[in-house]
Amino acid sequence: MNQPTSPSGGERIVRMEKLNKSFGDLHVLKNIDLEVTPGEVVVIIGASGSGKSTLIRCINGLEEFQQGELEVDGNPLKPYGKATQALQKIRTEVGMVFQQFNLFPHLSVLDNVTLAPMKVRGMDHREATDTAERLLDRVGIADQAAKYPTQLSGGQQQRVAIARALAMEPRLMLFDEPTSALDPEMIGEVLDAMRELANEGMTMLIVTHEMGFAREVADRVIFIHKGEIAEEGPPETIFDSPQAEPTRQFLSRVLKH
Amino acid sequence: MDVTFQFDWQAAFASIPHLLTGIPYTLLISFAGLAIGFLIGILFGLLRISPSRWLRVPAVAYIEVFRGTPVLVQVLFIFYGLPQLLGGPINALVAGIAAIAVNSGAYISEIVRGGVQSIERGQREAGLSLGLSRQQTFRYIIWPQALRRMIPSLGNQGIISIKDTSLFSVIGVGELVRQGQVYIATTFNALEVYLMVAMLYLVITLSLSAALRLLERKGLVGQ
């Protein structure tokens, strides 16, 4: 496969250069440079409204950006990008897990997971079902396959959403505050599923407020402040000896309790 | 003067066989008209929410015109007016079906629009993020959910349109009201016959309500 390479020679799944994005007059992302290598787990932290969700939503084209360069697994996305073939390809190769789960309520758990492989990849029903059952088993909800999403707890729903995204065999997984809508007692089971995924070598880009989890699984932590990357580095550095003032202030606020 | 009116049950029941001959026309106009109206409604309802102004404007115009004028005027226009343009008569049954179609189509367009717009944005985003095309996302994710939410409003519209067909007695379609009028012209039992006519409409609309309740209960599984 033809992979983009950086000057240092490593393969890049995400390459973002001087990316700028505005909502009207509101400049939400400012000159973002970001590279993600295969197998890397990158956690993005920052205050609400800092632009961290918008950042990962640009990667699969749920938000368009106005300036800069973005390449995902070798597929270029253009500013003001409409539904191009490259975008279509990116979406089949990038999985996303949402804060609100966004499961399809009219489909059973199993059908939620088999829909995209069958319609997008042309997988036959038998094979898609086998894959789905294997994935549901992996996230610990094989016994719920025939139920409908609303019959499940929030934690179970989010694990179905993870299985649904994995069914497309993504090269990269995006997590947009996956535990923020969950009751506290259900956060652990979702983080466990994500931790397992990270240990298996999945490339992951995670927006989260779970600092303990970030410290544990991240290879690199990025702190976003007012639409800019204020600081990035290994979790030990960011959490134990943050350099930038905004990072220190943010961490003292969120780690206090 | 001592007027003691006796409701003549015998006359009422005697009219039923004759009235029943109108039912096939009432049902045919209603369901053929509503079926075409549903197709019109899907088309114009979706045009109505199109990002293109050139598609949206004609859809809004259609909806406003046919929702804003009486169905009686519409059928008179089609039956008496259009032949002047076309140069040939229009079958009354066809005129009735066409009037229900364009009239219900305008209302159903708005029902479709509301139904589709009621689906949370996250559903579309989830579909797209899985690699489904916009068309696939609509077909497999948005539409099935929207359709379920539309059932109560569609049922409402169905009942309204069924009753609207009673107006088409004016163009001579042999539907239920027309058959009642014809029967009364020879027997003069207006009270009894119109009561039976009303009962027969009620039988039709209550059956539809019951069918919709069943459909809704079935459709709501998993919602």
pLDDT tens track for B31-82: 999 999 999 999 999 999 999 999 999 999 999 999 999 999 999 999 999 9
**Which B residues, 114 through 143, put their C-beta within 8 Å of a C-beta on chain A?**
120, 122-123, 125-134, 136, 140-141
CA distances from A11 to A16, A36, A154, B166 (A): 14, 9, 36, 73
CA distance B155 to chain A (A): 21
Per-residue pLDDT, B217: 82
> Read out DSSP for B161-189?
HHHHGGGGGGGT--SHHHHHHHHHHHH--
Residue found by looking up tokens 């009621």 in the block: B118
Nearest chain A residue (CA) to B143: A106
Q: Is B216 in CB contact (< 8 Å) with chain A?
A: no
Q: Which of A102, A106, A119 sits opposite B126 (nearest CB)?
A: A102
Burial of A96 (0-12, 13-18, 19+ CB in 10 A): buried
Residue of chain B nearest A115, judged by CA positions: B140
Other residues' Cβ atoms within 10 Å of the Cβ of residue A100: 19
pLDDT at B6: 83
Nearest to A93 by CA among A52, A121, A65: A121
Distance from CA of B52 to the nearest CA of A (A): 15
Could you tell me the mean pLDDT of each successive run of 10 residues in chain A, 257 residues long?
50 94 93 96 94 95 94 91 83 97 97 97 96 96 95 97 97 97 94 96 96 95 96 95 93 82
Residue B198: Cβ within 10 Å count: 14
Residues 6+ apart with CB under 8 A from B68: none
* Successive 10-residue mean pLDDT values, chain B, 223 residues: 78 94 97 98 96 95 97 97 92 97 98 97 97 96 95 95 96 95 93 96 96 81 45
Of B131, B134, B148, the CB nearest to A168: B131
Give the number of A-B residue pairs with CB atoms closer than 8 Å: 74
Sheet containing A172-176: which strands, arranged edge to edge? A94-97, A172-176, A204-207, A41-46, A220-225, A228-233
Q: What local confidence, expressed as pLDDT, does residue B4 receive?
A: 72
The verdict on A184 touching B (C-beta cutoff 8 Å) is: no
Q: Specify the pLDDT at position A60.
A: 94
**pLDDT of the residue at A85:** 86
Q: Would you call A119 and B136 a contact, using CB atoms and an 8 Å cutoff?
A: yes
> From CA B216, how far away is CA B82, in angstroms rounded?
39
The DSSP 8-state label assigned to residue B70 in this structure reads -
CB of B151 less than 8 A from some CB of A = no
